[in-house]
Structure 1
Amino acid sequence: MSGEQALVQRLAELQLRLQHLDAMYRAREEDVHVLSQHLSQLLVDSLSAGGLTPEAKSLLRNLTGLAPPPPAGHLLRLPSAYHFLPHLLLNPNSLRPAYSISKGRTGVSVVMGVPTVKREVQSYLLSTLQNLLDSMSLEEKEDAIIVVFIAETDEEYVLQVANEIKEHFEAELNSGLVEVISPPASYYPDMGRLRTTLGDSPERVRWRTKQNLDFAFLMMYSQPKAMFYIQLEDDILAKQHFLTTMKSVALERIANRKAWFVLDFCQLGFIGKMFRCVELPWLVQFFFMFYNDKPVDWLLDHLIHTKSCNLDKDYKHCKKAKDELWIHYKPSLFQHIGTHSSLKGKVQKLKDKQFGKVRLFFPHNNPDAVALSEIKAYKQYTLKRAYMGETFFWGLLPQPGDRLWFKFTTPLMMKRYIFRSGNAEHPSDRFYNTTIEVLPLLQPSNQYESYNITNDGFVIIGKFDSMGLAEGKVDPKLGAIKEMRLTVHSESDNWAILSEVNYSFDV
């Protein structure tokens, strides 16, 4: 980027920040106005009742800075969320998170919303968060927030997910990069009284209605934190430095005074949709108006249609007008990896063809060895081919005591090892409760006292973590290694993928 381009982009960013600050000022001004109306009404009521001292009357007049309001019949009131969701008036905490982990980071360029719900088959959330973080540079991390919205009201489940996030992403939580929230039960209307629309089953109507309300809550929470909002899902992959690309595209259009409402960086559903935070109230209000009527991606389409299409023109003209506000970026920056939808019984196999190929294994030039497995391989995904770097190993339902062996042709002075399980398309097919063991060329002696040793002389040097990764150093005191193996210690509900086997060693 040239110096002139950088300056133009910086000016666009400052312009957007000014718009954001203005929107926040107007929101605070609205709060003060509403409070003033309430205080003024209190003044009128108190004067009528004769219950205030002259000093109190004077204080209230000075505090409001307003004359007493006209009679109630002449006071106009703007519509709000309460018109469409009147049940929210029953509980003052309905629009506050029931659970929250936040360091209060604000003033960043981008806030990402990641809603997650309980899935009956498998959860992709931790893998998605890890992928997002791995795909971001340090500079991007310092200028962003990821808000994980646990869209459930079961307190036990919310705490379970939150604790998993704490365990794996403690540093990101402490820095303010990652936040976790959940909604109060009082936020949702009576889901048993929804209207059935579009010929959908009651279960599907409840599912898409809740999704509309979930997105609205997440957007309302995220809006004051940044200039741009990106809607994501909990079962996706992202390309490297996706934030820099998205921000650059947005600022370029702003600098060139090109209109847009949504920048679309994925062709599927509501994934990778980018909005200016100052314009999120349009969406939130629209979602509240029609939350019971249509799915969230349809509502976005209808909003764009309403903003851009001329009823006097034909479909072709309408599509062209919509394309000027809904900008599709290629190639896609996100890919959907989940197979099992949060809607019970729904299998979601859609893939974004614009994303390109997903890396499913990591080949290495490993030393000569015989690779053996007691876990039956699926089709051509054998351990031998995985060790040779031709594909990944995919084994059927590991059982306690199952082992994978690597018997080296020549004993190695091994320095480090990496075993990676699961892959982008099947992140839950990992090795769980599985140890890494080596068989030294020389029999165990007193120098191995700090290690646990199996009955057949293997030294346990590590294990897979909950993210499916096992890596570590090999103590040089162990000497040359002639065999290495993985031993499974508990039954698994999933198949197991070994997507990377790598050693570093002295020649």
Structure 2
Amino acid sequence: MRDFLWKLIIIATAVVLPIYYFIDENPFDTASFLSLKEKEMVAWQRARMQINPGRTNHMKTFKDMQKNSEPLENVNSHILLGASPTVKKLLTIGISSVQRPQGSYLLDTLQSLFFASSLSEQKYFTVLVHLADPDPNWLDQMISNISTLFQPYVQARQLVVINTPLKSYLPLKNLKKNFNDTPTHVTFRSKQNMDYAFLMNFATNYSDYFLMIEDDVKCAPGFVSQIATILSAWERKAWVTLEFSRLGFIGKLFHARDLPCFVRFLLLFYQEMPCDYLLSHFRDLLMQKKPIQFFPSLFQHMGNYSSFEGQLNSLTDKEFEGNNIGPPGNPAATIHTSLNVTNASVLMNAYSLDKNFFYIKEAKAGSHLTVVLDIPATVFRVQVLTGSELKEENQVKEGQVELGYDSTNRINDCDDYILLGLLVNGILDKQVLSEESGKKVKCVRLLVTAALPSGLIVRHINLWIK
């Protein structure tokens, strides 16, 4: 009995002392970002993490922090350029940037972002840039450059630039030294955590979703539509973050409603570890056990020098396809259709890689042409070309392309289809994002949604697979 009591005392001491130590060492001040209750709650969880770091998925009380869905009010972030959108958008794209000894990549990133999105896509997002360096000369220069180069986007309220004064930041002296980092690097990454937190705090009410990228990336063409397609497919699934790049904090997508909780989490543990490590713990606390990553990546790191002291950093994402993806490699397949076709060999012309094409005199609304792969595959790009190449006749004016998956072993069809995209001027050419552990594509279906009394030409259905 005496041994048991001693064990109980030791365990209680191991749990309780770290809590009081944590609160005592992190009192913030009267302008604290967190209530005492929230600090006690997460300090308790932190103590449990130190005792048994493998059981972070049992930290249920952390969810109470989600009840506070309001942005922080005592942060003095303010707009330097542009104006907040008047209508809530689908997406806010957030970028935080500081001065770099070797020169800034921010302007190139903004140019890539807007050039990679069509005019119709730009209606659905706002770009929010946090210039997080206190140097007034650098701020003035960056505001001048952005205003000159991106004036139409600023005037359209599609681009907003903000800054947060240093007085809003938590202490950056006498920080904890973790991961064998130098004191200078600990200060850098601790401030970076707050840079990101203040950016997200400002973005909370701008949109339904928030996408974090960095200030030195290249964006894949059509990335907004790709993300919208994934959001549609994941609308009824539970997730904390969706990842569209493997690197660092690039391409991480959040529900905007989760931002206040994550902001508080970043500020509470700002000096503990880098932001991408904190995101992993945050995701775990909210019961998402592993990253949900999609491939190919939509963003590529393009800078050669880090924002930390100009150190060389040529890291690239190997899953970023870019534009150099080679020719299509249509795998073995059969084609099935509801069109009135008598010659199956002619039908296969739609899927051939030569110059042959498929033509039929009439196509009714609801008609389909479906490619069924012999072996389901990971398809990362689909291209459907309809109509005469020279005269632009016999195009599918109104139609869509769908991807099919099969869990019941059907022979000539699939039991689950999702929309890939609509044809524009008779053409669809899109990347297909897939999870690392996701289902493989078995069917690609061209669906005609309005009658074509003058006939239909399908020049090519091209697939790229891994």
Structure 1: give runs of 5+ residues left out of the alignment.
Answer: 1-75, 85-91, 309-320, 360-507
The Cα of 1:103 is off from its aligned counterpart by 2.1
Q: Which residue number in structure 1 is paired with residue 13 of structure 2? A: none
8 A contact 2:178–2:272 mirrored in 1: yes
Q: Which residue number in structure 2 is paired with residue 341 of structure 1? A: 306
8 A contact 1:94–1:186 mirrored in 2: no
* 1:208 is the counterpart of 2:175: no
Q: Which residue number in structure 1 is paired with residue 244 of structure 2? A: 265
Pick the aligned partner of 1:156 from 106, 118, 137. 137
8 A contact 1:235–1:337 mirrored in 2: yes
8 A contact 1:250–1:263 mirrored in 2: no
Pick the aligned partner of 1:280 from 256, 259, 282. 259
Query: Which moved further from structure 2: 160-169 or 349-358?
Result: 349-358
8 A contact 1:265–1:273 mirrored in 2: yes
Q: Which residue number in structure 2 is paired with residue 251 of structure 1? A: 232
The Cα of 1:240 is off from its aligned counterpart by 0.9
Q: Which residue number in structure 2 is paired with residue 331 of structure 1? A: 296
Q: Which residue number in structure 2 is paired with residue 182 of structure 1? A: 163
Q: Which residue number in structure 1 is paired with residue 124 of structure 2? A: 143
Q: Which residue number in structure 1 is paired with residue 289 of structure 2? A: 322
Amino acid corresponding to residue 203 of structure 1 in structure 2: T
The Cα of 1:156 is off from its aligned counterpart by 2.2
Give the whole-Å Cα distance in 2 for the aligned partners of 1:345 and 1:278. 35
Amino acid corresponding to residue 161 of structure 2 in structure 1: V
* 1:122 is the counterpart of 2:89: no
Q: Which residue number in structure 1 is paired with residue 331 of structure 2? A: none
The Cα of 1:339 is off from its aligned counterpart by 0.9
Amino acid corresponding to residue 336 of structure 1 in structure 2: H
Instruction: Return structure 1 stretches of 4+ with deviation > 6 angstroms.
Output: none
DSSP 3-state at the match of 2:292: strand
Pick the aligned partner of 1:230 from 184, 202, 211. 211
Q: Which residue number in structure 2 is paired with residue 95 of structure 1? A: 75
Matches within 5 A, 1:402-417: none
Give the whole-Å Cα distance in 2 for the aligned partners of 1:177 and 1:98. 17
8 A contact 2:91–2:211 mirrored in 1: yes
Q: Which residue number in structure 1 is paired with residue 274 of structure 2? A: 295
Give the whole-Å Cα distance in 2 for the aligned partners of 1:353 and 1:102. 35
Q: Which residue number in structure 2 is paired with residue 380 of structure 1? A: none
- The C-alpha deviation readout for 1:295-338, integer Å capped at 9, x for no partner, is 00000111122333xxxxxxxxxxxx623xx3100110000000
Give the whole-Å Cα distance in 2 for the aligned partners of 1:345 and 1:97. 26
Q: Which residue number in structure 1 is paired with residue 84 of structure 2? A: 104
Amino acid corresponding to residue 76 of structure 2 in structure 1: R
8 A contact 2:220–2:322 mirrored in 1: no
DSSP 3-state at the match of 2:211: strand
Q: Which residue number in structure 1 is paired with residue 284 of structure 2? A: 305
Amino acid corresponding to residue 262 of structure 2 in structure 1: L
Give the whole-Å Cα distance in 2 for the aligned partners of 1:121 and 1:201. 21
- The C-alpha deviation readout for 1:34-75, integer Å capped at 9, x for no partner, is xxxxxxxxxxxxxxxxxxxxxxxxxxxxxxxxxxxxxxxxxx
Matches within 5 A, 1:23-42: none
DSSP 3-state at the match of 1:322: coil
Amino acid corresponding to residue 322 of structure 1 in structure 2: K
8 A contact 1:93–1:184 mirrored in 2: no
The Cα of 1:159 is off from its aligned counterpart by 1.4
The Cα of 1:345 is off from its aligned counterpart by 4.6
The Cα of 1:101 is off from its aligned counterpart by 2.0
The Cα of 1:272 is off from its aligned counterpart by 0.5
* 1:351 is the counterpart of 2:316: yes
DSSP 3-state at the match of 1:224: coil
Matches within 5 A, 1:67-82: 78-79=37-38
Give the whole-Å Cα distance in 1 for the aligned partners of 2:171 and 2:282. 26
8 A contact 1:333–1:355 mirrored in 2: yes
Task: Identify which of structures 1 and 2 has the higher relative contact order when contacts are C-alpha pairs closer than 8 Å and 6+ apart.
Answer: 2
8 A contact 2:94–2:129 mirrored in 1: yes
Q: Which residue number in structure 2 is paired with residue 364 of structure 1? A: none
- The C-alpha deviation readout for 1:243-286, integer Å capped at 9, x for no partner, is 111122012111xx221111100010000000110011221111
Relative distance call for 1:128 and 1:345 in structure 2 (3 A) is closer
Amino acid corresponding to residue 278 of structure 2 in structure 1: L
The Cα of 1:100 is off from its aligned counterpart by 2.3
Amino acid corresponding to residue 165 of structure 1 in structure 2: I
Amino acid corresponding to residue 276 of structure 1 in structure 2: H
**TM score, norm. by length of structure 2:** 0.53
8 A contact 2:190–2:274 mirrored in 1: yes
Give the whole-Å Cα distance in 1 for the aligned partners of 2:154 and 2:79. 14
8 A contact 2:102–2:310 mirrored in 1: no
Give the whole-Å Cα distance in 2 for the aligned partners of 1:147 and 1:228. 13
> How many residues are treated as equivalent by the alignment?
261
DSSP 3-state at the match of 2:198: helix
8 A contact 1:231–1:271 mirrored in 2: yes
Amino acid corresponding to residue 108 of structure 1 in structure 2: K
- The C-alpha deviation readout for 1:92-132, integer Å capped at 9, x for no partner, is 99612255223220411000101111000121111110110
Give the whole-Å Cα distance in 1 for the aligned partners of 2:270 and 2:320. 30
